[in-house]
Structure 1
Amino acid sequence: MVKNQKPTSKYNLLSLIFTTLVILIATLYPFNFSKIQLFSLAEIIANFNHSSNFQDQVNNIILFIPLGFSFTSLLLKSSKKSIVKLGLVILFSFGLSLTVEILQIFLPSRSPTPADLFNNTLGGLFGFVCFYIWNPQSFSSTIKNLKISQANQSRKQIVCCFIAYLLLTLFISILWQNANNLSNWHTNYYLSIGNEVRGNRHWQGYVSEIYIADQAISKNEASHGLSNPSYLNQLGKSLVAHYELSGKCCYQDKTGNQPELLWQGQPVSIPQSQGVFLNANSWLKTSAPVSTLSHRISQTSEFTISAAIATTNLDQKGPARIISISDSSLRRNLTLGQQGNSLDLRLRTPLTGENGTEIKLNIPNIFTDTYLHQIIITYARGTVQVYVDKLNNFYSFNLLDLIPKEQRIFYYALSFIPLGIGLSIITLLAQKRLIFYRVLFYSGIFIPSLMLESILVSESGKDFSMKNILLGISFTAVTMVCLRIRAAQLKTSSKFTN
């Protein structure tokens, strides 16, 4: 017995070293480190102001699962309790992830993000769980400890565990709601009109007036704003920017909150009634970042934009940038663009990513002529509403309803597989009480999915979806079934062994 322990421990250590090296190579290659002028805590925090897209989230979780698995196997012979081992795996995963993210500050080709820390640590946690399910000794020991625990003998403690299970569901629901907020807006981005901030996505057309508020207006207010744009001045302190685009130069924000808009290139003389003409050689950009605007909208997670727009080319693509609050063509808070005859909206949220492209927001048949159109766009609680010229020419959609199928499945798996594991533990504690067991079993499968969908419908305004409810139920139930099958296999094998 002692003879086999050393080779096994050596193998586990080599496995951990190998998975660590794989992570370092995958996250730091090609190792083209460069110096930064000022290395401080403030600089580190500033460099972490990025967000990852859906594919990065998946990759970062999967990448750390082998690490959590191999580190847990190394701790197998340790006399420490399982909860201590879990803590060590989480700390090790987080520590390695933090090291990688800090090193990425020195890599021009990499962008450190706070989400990576969470996803990497979550991957390590999944690796821990996978090892305990895969390893017969660990799995059997866990089941045995649960059966002889004090909670197994006390109905009150089992009820407390179930309440904690429902509270975990509530916490998951809050995370889903926060996926729609605008708290990740960057305050150092410029406002540009008729092009991207760096001048590489030009649009050709007219813009005469722009209003931006840090609140979503009602349908009645939108009606007044469409017939008389100056009505939006009644929003008072909620109005964070108002530019009248007439004359050659320059354009001050009438609210006094934002920097002035300056011409990039030479302005083209046109009749003032049409506003300003914008093209590849003549477009507008603020003299400084619109920090106040971005900060206030990030605080309220709401906004309203009203603009009078006329395209002179019905086939502009890219999308061609009409109004943009951004840093580059890959990082933005908000962009209104033309994609053929459609209005393309890119909005930065935790769900849509830092380029606002994880979910497509496209309003068709807006640019079907070259006339001036009054457009009002509002956003609140994940719902985008677009009005064009008239109140009945109206579009509305919710970000949660537009999540792509594969992305939705992944997020529901992250949400409900842990719940399935938790419910398996609770029902194992209650299995000696048949009626009590059945109540916990069925309510534990159905309530979380119903709770999540109900909260999202009431708080985010999304459409009620039976498919989402069934998806959540399926992940919870399938997780429970898989764990039961695993337990039955181990029980059968132990009988044959005995």
Structure 2
Amino acid sequence: MYFNVAVLGLLWIFLYKLFPYSFPLTKSFSLEFVVHRFGEDEFSQAKDFVELVISLFTFTLFGVGLADLLQKKKLVSTVNLVIILLISTSLSAVTEVLQTISAVRNANALDILTDSIGAAMGWFCFHQARFLKLARYASVIRLRAKILFQYYCSLPILATGFVAYFIIAAIGVALLPTAADLRNWDSSFPLLLGNELTGGRPWSGNIELVQIFDQALTEAEIGRFFSGNQQSFAHESSLLAFYEFTRGGKEYSDQTGQLPELSWVGEPPHKGKDDERKDSGVLLNATHWLQSSAPPTYLNERIKQSAQFTLNVIVQSDALKQQGPARILSLSKDLQHRNLTLGQDDSSLVIRLRTPATGINGRNPEIVVPQVFTEGEPHHLVMTYADSNLRVYVDKLEHLYTFNVPSWGYKVLYYGPVFVPLAILLSLILSVTRGLLPLRIILLVSGGVLPSLLLEGLLASTNHRSFSLENLLMCLAFTIGTLLIARGQVQPWLKAH
């Protein structure tokens, strides 16, 4: 029993701690990098406290299982405690370091301390007489539950439960925001170039152009950008923002007339004698950056409705050692809340996009495009987003990077709670109808395939997107996989005693 608890605890640790399982490894691994990533985390939100509680509970289960395994070695209980603390602390440290490498989840030394305390609590619980006494009654409780299960496990009840659960789950999933939409964007966030509103993430460089559309433009249209034809989109309805920058301006107006002007925070820069760059563009650094005079509500609302956009910018970094990431362009109000951020972290381009999956800070995960910036060289960057697909073009059409937002890990948690219980119910139904082959075939097809088709069709229609074969296959994989696992597990529960 306790061995199973330890295994389940270990499995849950990795499932929870490493979600969403994205390890791009775009940075060189070093002690300096790991320390830097640990220093970035801020324990400031309610969800951070909730995560600590979940982690504490998880390692408590793990500690219980380890205590049982170590007791069989006939070691002194205090020695067992020391071993448990060493194992749990090492395991927690490994998962936290993996989080820093992935650049998806926050790494925090407080998590390691919490995990160690949880493991010690597991050891303490195991060695309590009351806890052991309760364990002796586990088999009795299981037997009584089995009798009740057999009493209610009939074909009409199971079939009714199957249909009812699918209807409730399908409606619930359809009402939830999908992982890909942008309905959780905040229309009150300002547009910033070169820093955050709080002034804590400055970027040093030059920006020549910013264009934002509420549609994901085609490759042919993006090709016109790289050929130098920016003006051709000036009057199209999908263009929401068009800022062109020249040196020495006090404020900059949106050429579409739809968004507020950008004005300086700090003293506007003046071109120095040692600045040999061309006059186009605007210089930004820690002492001066640009901020919209009011929130670009129109832009935020249009993108929320369309759930897609295109961002076209021409930028030049003044230094490769810029971290945070340093904010090139941001729709945000502080370090923890944003709709969209385009940033630089050393030579990498970092994108944070707010969706129901990536969270209010857009970093679960953040997108990292490696080796983009070169010191003193301008770069033309175009980014499009639609139907979970983020496409990033760097300087030319051939330099394309594609990402799926969110990763498959989010979809596992999105579809799993629907189809795993359905498959368990279907397995019970198939066991009850054992011997009726034609009926079992009909049930297998209708119960295994039809719910996947119906749910994906419902989600496609309610979210105005195309039918996804990938999502359908994932639903079928959940159903088939659960059926295979449950195949030999349900029969003992159906046998009378």
TM-score category by the smaller chain? 0.5 to 0.7
| Counterpart check, 1:416 vs 2:419 | yes
CA distance in 1, matches of 2:226, 2:144: 69
CA distance in 2, matches of 1:301, 1:140: 51
| Range that drifts further, 193-202 or 445-454 | 445-454
CA distance in 1, matches of 2:427, 2:46: 34
Work out which of the residue numbers 285, 288, 295 in structure 2 matches 1:282.
Answer: 288
CA distance in 1, matches of 2:371, 2:284: 21
CA RMSD of aligned residues (A): 4.0
Q: 1:217, 1:378 within 8 Å by CA — same for their partners in 2?
A: yes
| Range that drifts further, 50-59 or 370-379 | 50-59
Q: 1:211, 1:232 within 8 Å by CA — same for their partners in 2?
A: no
Residue 269 of structure 1: aligned partner: 270
Structure 1 residues 408 and 296, CA, compared in 2 at 3 Å: closer, same or farther? closer
1:405-484 aligned within 5 A: 410-411=413-414, 413-424=416-427, 426-427=429-430, 430-431=433-434, 433-441=436-444, 444-445=447-448, 459=466, 470=477, 473-479=480-486, 481-484=488-491
1:170-185 aligned within 5 A: 178-185=178-185
Displacement of 1:233 in angstroms is 1.6
| Counterpart check, 1:386 vs 2:387 | no
Structure 1 residues 472 and 355, CA, compared in 2 at 3 Å: closer, same or farther? farther
| Counterpart check, 1:340 vs 2:346 | yes
Q: 1:446, 1:473 within 8 Å by CA — same for their partners in 2?
A: no
| Range that drifts further, 323-332 or 226-235 | 226-235
Structure 1 residues 245 and 140, CA, compared in 2 at 3 Å: closer, same or farther? farther
Amino acid at match of 1:207: I
CA distance in 1, matches of 2:373, 2:466: 33
Residue 220 of structure 1: aligned partner: 220
Question: Structure 1 or 2: larger helix share?
Answer: 1
1:61-460 aligned within 5 A: 137=144, 140-141=147-148, 143-147=150-154, 149=156, 178-227=178-227, 228-236=229-237, 238-246=238-246, 247-270=248-271, 273-400=279-406, 402-404=407-409, 410-411=413-414, 413-424=416-427, 426-427=429-430, 430-431=433-434, 433-441=436-444, 444-445=447-448, 459=466
Which runs of 5 or more structure 2 residues have no equivalent in the other structure?
1-44, 59-137, 272-276
Displacement of 1:474 in angstroms is 2.3
| Range that drifts further, 412-421 or 169-178 | 169-178
Amino acid at match of 2:286: A
The alignment covers a number of residue pairs equal to: 362
Q: 2:215, 2:306 within 8 Å by CA — same for their partners in 1?
A: yes
Residue 132 of structure 2: aligned partner: none
Amino acid at match of 2:188: N
CA distance in 2, matches of 1:353, 1:54: 16
Structure 1 residues 192 and 161, CA, compared in 2 at 3 Å: closer, same or farther? same
Amino acid at match of 1:349: T
Residue 102 of structure 2: aligned partner: none
Q: 1:417, 1:479 within 8 Å by CA — same for their partners in 2?
A: no
Amino acid at match of 2:388: G
Displacement of 1:274 in angstroms is 3.2
> Once the two structures are superposed, what CA deviation does each residue of 1:230-276 show, in whole Å capped at 9, x if it has no partner?
2232432x211111222321112222222211111112123663310
TM-score of the pair, normalised by structure 2: 0.62
Give the SS at the match of 1:185.
coil
Displacement of 1:316 in angstroms is 1.3
CA distance in 2, matches of 1:289, 1:468: 41
Amino acid at match of 2:210: I
Give the SS at the match of 2:302.
helix
Q: 2:215, 2:310 within 8 Å by CA — same for their partners in 1?
A: yes
Give the SS at the match of 2:225.
helix
Q: Identity of aligned pairs, percent?
A: 33
Structure 1 residues 430 and 177, CA, compared in 2 at 3 Å: closer, same or farther? farther
Structure 1 residues 264 and 475, CA, compared in 2 at 3 Å: closer, same or farther? farther
Q: 1:374, 1:388 within 8 Å by CA — same for their partners in 2?
A: yes
Amino acid at match of 1:333: N
Structure 1 residues 321 and 310, CA, compared in 2 at 3 Å: closer, same or farther? same
